[in-house]
Amino acid sequence: MNWINTYVDDYYNWLREKTYIQKGTSTDWFLINTPFVGAFNDTIEIYAQKIGNQIILSDNGETMSNLELQGLHIQGSKKRRNILDSILLNYGVRNESDELKIDINVENFSQAKHNFLSAIIEINDLYVLSQHNVASIFKDDVRSYLESKDIIFTPDFISKGATGLEFNFDFQIAKKHSEIVIKSFNTINKSNLSTFLFAWDDIKPVREKTTKKEVKAIAIINDVEKEIRSEFLEALKSKSADYILWSERENKRSLNLVA
């Protein structure tokens, strides 16, 4: 036996020593406490129930609940749902009302348990991975919001301004007598706010001359678990642009702006 076999055997022994099993006192479910680390640096627990030659593994809803507690809302984003569905399909896991489950034959227990743990670990990683794509994910949230209100819009709207430069806006809503350009801000600061206001100010006279409509601008700002500085909101008002705070998107004022 060479050195790598020894270390692999040590790893198997470690897995066995760190895996604890406990029978439920009032149910026929068994708790399997694994050595793998979950979302909050606690160990991942899975539950097993045997019915005939079938075994059901469940996470008791903890994986999806942990994502929600971290502020990552899967159901609010098509992109997140697609990623989640892809992971579940890859490992043969199903989602029942935010409880992850897998049905297996007794002879396939080892592989299925491994797949189930792999799925949980990968889904837990969605929170970390989302930090690299958080701006695009918030844009996707805004898109879902507009779609949920049956608002017809053009995504990634490009328009040329008076300076001859072309500017990109996340969404454009064309109404009978007006036109709205929208920019989503997961994080707003002096730099990106100034860029947005300059872009809108530059295209406004050109678009109004071309379409014979009033052109309006709306900044949709993510204020969930973050404080938006009042000076940014005042800057928007001073340029006659409007804004929707994400936490207030369902109130009457916000809906009137986009409806």
Please write the tens of the pLDDT for every residue from 200-223.
Answer: 999 999 999 999 999 999 999 999
**Residues 144, 247: one domain?**
yes
**Residues 124, 139: one domain?**
no
Q: What is the mean pLDDT of residues 181-192?
A: 91
- pLDDT tens digits, 72-94: 778 767 778 888 999 999 999 99
Q: Return d(Cα 251, Cα 97) in angstroms, integer.
A: 28
**Residues 144, 207: one domain?**
yes
Q: Which of 78, 107, 132 finishes a domain?
A: 132
pTM: predicted TM-score of the whole model, two decimal places: 0.56
**Residues 95, 154: one domain?**
no
Q: What is the mean pLDDT of residues 162-186?
A: 93
Write the Ramachandran bin of 54: left for phi over 0, alpha for psi from -120 to 50, otherwise beta.
beta
Beginning with the edge strand found earlier in the chain, give each strand of the sheet holding 99-105 in spatial order: 20-23, 30-37, 43-51, 54-58, 99-105, 94-96
Domain count, the chain: 2
**Residues 164, 217: one domain?**
yes
Residue 180 maps to which CATH number? 3.40.1350.10
**Residues 170, 95: one domain?**
no
Q: Return d(Cα 161, Cα 202) in angstroms, integer.
A: 5
Q: Which of 132, 150, 166 finishes a domain?
A: 132
Q: Beta 54-58 vs 166-174: how paired, if at all?
A: unpaired
Q: Which of 132, 149, 166 finishes a domain?
A: 132
**Residues 24, 55: one domain?**
yes
Helix, strand or coil, per DSSP, at residue 227:
coil
Q: Could you tell me the residue range of the domain that residue 56 belongs to?
A: 3-132
Query: According to the model, what pLDDT value does residue 86 have?
Result: 92
Q: What is the mean pLDDT of residues 241-248?
A: 96
How does the average pLDDT of the chain come out, rounded? 89
**Residues 177, 145: one domain?**
yes
